[in-house]
Amino acid sequence: MKLKEIYSVLDSVSPFELQEKWDNSGLIIGDMNRDIDKIVISIDLDDMMIESYEEGTLFILHHPLIFGKLTAIDTSKYPSNMIEKLILKRQSVIAMHTNFDKTHLNRYVFTKVLGLTPDVEKDFICESDVDWSLKELSERLEDIFGLKYLKMVNPKERIKRVALTTGAGASLMDMVDADCFLTGDIKYHDAMKALSQDLMMVDIGHWESESFFCDALSAELKNLSVSAIITQSKNPFTMLFHG
């Protein structure tokens, strides 16, 4: 199957034109006329993945390998070291980032993972009424996202409405109409702002909340003539607990 044919399917599933202006979704590395023998779906890419798969592999990633201005190809540094290996092995990369967040990922996590039905959807946000105690919410999130602990801002004993943005969504808090906002990468000043607005926020982790990307996308690619393999990239963070 040609890379351009797969690209066309992905574009029909989640149009690349929907990505944010600052994003870099779409073809990252490859030739549209190249033959693709295998598809590997992952959040990110690492050395082991490149080494494990042969020529003709297409990596469909959530996070763009090239993100921001790339002024030099210094192959001793990331991401240039990855780019060199991919080119030498004639492997290809497509990213589905903010376009897929908008069309699939947030809704998938909200409905399939959290088991909620959104009554409001805004690009990156899903919302729904709930009736959870703080304990019920905590146990649910710890179990679903595999979290050892929860970092919260302004915890409430009763949660009546919840909103979700996967990845890093704290900057969207002004668009949220809920008393609890679930997202990742909550910064100090975001926390201070949420506290002043009486908004509860729970940091569910960037990697943890987006780890369902592979499942969400693979469900859309079942009819491709090329087999799609899910391989979960490792969380770059290691939690160290001192007793």
**Domains in the chain: boundaries:** 3-99+211-230, 100-209
**pLDDT surpassing 90 at residue 224:** no
Both tokens assigned to 204: 């569910």
Looking at per-residue confidence, does 201 or 228 come out higher? Answer: 201
3-state SS assignment for residue 132:
strand
Element containing residue 113 per DSSP (H, E)? none
Question: What topology is assigned to 100-209 in CATH?
Answer: 3.40.1390
Q: Enumerate the H helices of 90-227 as residue ranges.
A: 98-100, 106-108, 134-145, 188-196, 206-210, 213-218
> Which SS3 state, helix, strand or coil, does residue 175 take?
helix
Given a cut of 90, whether residue 61 has pLDDT beyond it is yes
**Cβ neighbours around 226 below 10 Å, total:** 16
Q: Which residues contact 156 (CB under 8 A, 6 or more apart)?
A: 134, 179, 180, 200
Confidence of residue 69 (pLDDT cuts 50, 70, 90): confident
- Burial status of residue 135 (CB atoms within 10 A of its CB: 0-12, 13-18, 19 or more): exposed
Q: 7: closest CA among 159, 221, 162?
A: 221
The continuous run of DSSP H or E covering 40 comes out as: strand 38-42
Please state which of the ranges 28-32, 70-74, 225-229 shows the lowest mean pLDDT: 225-229
Q: Domain 3-99+211-230 belongs to what topology?
A: 3.40.1390
SS3 content of the chain, % helix, strand, coil (to 5): 35, 25, 40
DSSP 233: P
pTM of the full predicted structure? 0.94
User: Which pLDDT belongs to residue 234?
Assistant: 83
Q: What is the pairing mode between strands 200-203 and 151-153?
A: antiparallel
Query: Which one has a higher pLDDT value, 226 or 124?
Result: 124
Map residue 17 onto helix, strand or coil. Answer: helix
The predicted structure's pLDDT at residue 116: 98
